[in-house]
Amino acid sequence: MPNPHDAGRRAPGREGPTASLRAEGATRGFGVRLAAAMLARGPLCVGIDPHPALLAGWGLADSVQGLRTFSQTVLEAVAPLAAAIKPQVALYERHGSAGMAALEELLAAAAEAGVLTIADAKRGDIGSTMAGYADAWLRDGSALAADSVTLSPYLGFESLRPALDLAAANGRGVFVLALTSNPEGASVQHVGGADSVAKRIVQAAAVENQRWASVTLGSVGLVVGATVGDALKELGIDLAAVHGPLLAPGLGAQGATGADMRATFGAAYPGVLATSSRGILAAGPGVAELRAATTATLQRL
């Protein structure tokens, strides 16, 4: 797989591609656009997680206005540096319809700034309900439309078909939960040993990405925790064969380092989009401080 991390990367702090990344819309797959952003800016996704404790640490109220200020400040700070942002949908949803409106504003502002978005919604259901989720997050013209969305496959990978097909049709992407680093995840994902649930999800994603075999990255990504350690080897999982982006939460506050990630992902590392949330957000509320933390994180990667 060509390495989107190396050739032609801009130095941190220099603006990479902005609205031009979106100009071709659905004629370019999400994976292609993400690979271009990673090559230009580096392999970093900044999570926007407005936890009550973080809002308080910034001197903001746990309110919709605090949520809006937090979100827009993070976007302003990281837009020139990060390949993508990943708002945590639950932390907007807890504020009701006004919180979701703040999320809509953030997604629209990110589109204007040319920053790719990953809506961390972890949606998963069957039939018309899954189609409804797909329509909300992946349909052109939807107020909640993001460049990509996280999905849960634990009602069966094929239950995600409405989202997989709509994302492909609209030049958007998905990230399917595959091997997470939370302790409870192993009780489901590791079941089956050499034929584990996680391995089957990885293989199914690889099949989906065959439609993008001729480009740098496919548009069906996976969520694989940066702190999964030896689980990939133990389960015999070949992430390099997925030909899609690998969203890897756990960098920074959760303990993973760039060196750890290179060791964990091995040959698949060129497709890894590392995610840092609290490790960067704790540097706020100043834009300059947030940018410095983002630049430092990129340098460690």
Q: How many CA atoms lie within 13 A of 194 on its CB side?
A: 0
Q: What share of the chain is helix, strand, coil (3-state, %, to 5)?
A: 50, 15, 35
User: Taking the CB of residue 159, how many other CB atoms lie within 10 A of it?
Assistant: 18
Measured in degrees and rounded to the nearest 5, phi and psi for residue 17 equal -65, 140
Specify the DSSP element, H or E, that contains 84.
strand 84-87
Other Cβ atoms closer than 10 A to 13: 12
| Angle between the N-to-C axes of helices 96-113 and 64-78, in degrees from 0 to 180, rounded to the nearest 10 | 20
For residue 222, the Cα-to-chain-centroid distance in whole angstroms is 9
Q: Quote the Cα angle for 3-7-18, to 5°.
A: 95
Active-site residue, from 86, 122, 199, 233: 122
122 flagged as catalytic: yes
Q: At what angle do helices 64-78 and 287-300 cross, to 10 degrees?
A: 50
What's the longest Cα–Cα distance across the chain?
Answer: 49
Cis peptide before 80 (omega within 30 of 0): no
Residues marked active site are found at 122
